[in-house]
């Protein structure tokens, strides 16, 4: 009997788990410009991103953050795609794309403002051309498609990018986004990080075909790529971006990766995940395989290791200091950014809330007397 979970195409892989460079007739061209120096930079990016994740997880365990969504194991999927974008491309992430945020230039402390409860969002979307973290599953796919249709209207050649996980492909919002993107041939790239677990349910439960195959039903070309291979992800993303810029419409990228840690720090993956599965995927670690390639090429010397460690330590220290010393928001800040313009309804609520807060001050003063 044939496997019902067939794939519409081969898994694109340019770097084996052992660090061996694999030639590909179609995708080699798209990374032919990646120099030895850039390989070292990609390695540094992934090490720093993992350190951000480790530090943020520790801060949450120490009570400094209310929650944190780890990305351990997904560094290549995020750095490989994040380094492919132009500055005028606009990114719509989920709550887990801290690695993409790093590639866009977002400061580490800004990545945790919302998780500390100090703000509704962490950074200015228009400064980095990256929307803030989206908690609702799948809705950012619609935002990405709508933005892409706006790009078409403006006649620009920038691209909109929407990230989501395997679980989001079961949401109606994602299906609606794919319908509109295909219908209008919008310049949007959908990047699905298939990390195999939608919280506690495996991807095999929600989909009986490879996720990349679903795109064909909407008339959207798809690429299924090894999400732990930073070079393959970079190449696939470049292909999709180029297609969108030239008027070729949307592309669906399934980056096959693995969530090594919990869904969030509120989750216990040992309750639903086999330890052997985790061990198997640990052998495919994205950082280890690029490190092995650097060793093969004679690029991994003490100087590089020292530089990368220093950068990771610097960013981690910035994150910790910025988190612990983050100023508390004023009580009235809750009304900021609710509407683009002030209106009578908002002013009325602000007035009521201000008088409510003042009543506590008055009670305290009366108690002191």
**From start to end of 77-220, where are the E strands?**
90-92, 160-165, 188-194, 197-198, 201-202
Q: Is 259 a catalytic residue?
A: yes
Which residue has 């190449």 as its token pair?
235
* Identified catalytic residue from 50, 96, 104, 259: 259
**DSSP percent split of the chain into helix, strand, coil, nearest 5:** 50, 10, 40
Confirm if 24 and 264 have CB atoms less than 8 A apart.
no
Beta strand 201-202 pairing with 197-198:
antiparallel
Among the listed residues 83, 238, 263, 320, the single catalytic one is 263
The alpha carbon dihedral of 314, 316, 322, 324 has a sign of negative
Contacts of 236 (CB under 8 A, 6+ apart): 12, 27, 30, 223, 225, 253, 255
| CB neighbour burial string for 61-87, b if at least 16 within 10 angstroms, e if fewer | eeebbeebbbbbbbbbbbbbbbbbbee
Strands 160-165 and 251-256: unpaired
- Nearest Cα neighbor of 356 from 337, 335, 341 is 335
**Secondary structure of residue 194 in the 3-state scheme:** strand
Catalytic residue from among 272, 307, 348, 356: 272
First to last CA, the chain: 85
Q: How far apart are CA 25 and CA 46, in angstroms?
A: 26
- The per-residue b/e assignment along 286-320, b for 16 or more CB within 10 angstroms, e otherwise, is bbebbbbbbeeeeebeeeeeeebeeebeebbeebb
Question: Could you tell me the two tokens for 185?
Answer: 């041939």
What is the three-class DSSP state of 77? Answer: helix
The catalytic residue positions are: 259, 263, 272
């Amino acid at each position: 009997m044939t496997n019902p979970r067939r794939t519409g195409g081969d898994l694109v892989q340019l770097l084996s788990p052992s660090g061996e460079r694999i030639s590909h007739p179609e995708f080699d061209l798209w990374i032919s410009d990646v120099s030895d120096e850039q390989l070292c930079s990609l390695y540094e990016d992934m090490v720093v991103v993992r350190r951000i994740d480790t530090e943020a997880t520790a801060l949450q365990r120490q009570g400094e953050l209310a929650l944190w969504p780890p990305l351990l194991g997904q560094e290549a999927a995020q750095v490989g795609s994040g380094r492919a974008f132009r500055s005028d491309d606009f990114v719509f992430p989920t709550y887990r794309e801290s690695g993409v945020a790093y590639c866009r230039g977002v400061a580490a402390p800004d990545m945790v403002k919302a998780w500390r409860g100090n703000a509704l969002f962490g950074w200015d979307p228009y400064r980095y051309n990256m929307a803030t973290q989206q908690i609702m599953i799948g809705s950012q796919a619609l935002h990405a498609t709508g933005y892409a249709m706006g790009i078409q209207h403006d006649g620009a050649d920038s691209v909109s990018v929407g990230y989501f996980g395997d679980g989001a492909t079961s949401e109606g919002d994602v299906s609606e986004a794919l319908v509109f993107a295909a219908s209008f041939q919008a310049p949007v790239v959908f990047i699905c990080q298939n990390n195999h677990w939608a919280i506690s349910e495996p991807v095999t439960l929600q989909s009986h075909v490879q996720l990349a195959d679903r795109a064909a039903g909407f008339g959207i070309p798809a690429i299924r790529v090894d999400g732990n291979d930073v070079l393959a992800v970079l190449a696939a993303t470049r292909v999709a971006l180029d297609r969108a810029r030239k008027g070729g419409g949307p592309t669906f990228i399934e980056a096959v990766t693995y969530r090594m840690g919990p869904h969030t720090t509120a989750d216990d993956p040992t309750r639903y995940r086999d330890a052997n599965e985790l061990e198997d995927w640990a052998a495919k670690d994205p950082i280890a395989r690029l490190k092995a390639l650097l060793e093969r090429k004679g690029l991994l010397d003490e100087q590089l290791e020292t530089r990368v460690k220093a950068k990771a330590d610097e960013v981690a220290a910035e994150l910790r200091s910025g988190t612990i010393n983050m100023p508390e928001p004023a009580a009235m800040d809750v009304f900021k950014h609710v509407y683009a313009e002030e209106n009578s309804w908002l002013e009325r609520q602000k007035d009521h809330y201000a008088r409510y807060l003042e009543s506590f001050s008055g009670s305290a003063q009366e108690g002191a007397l």
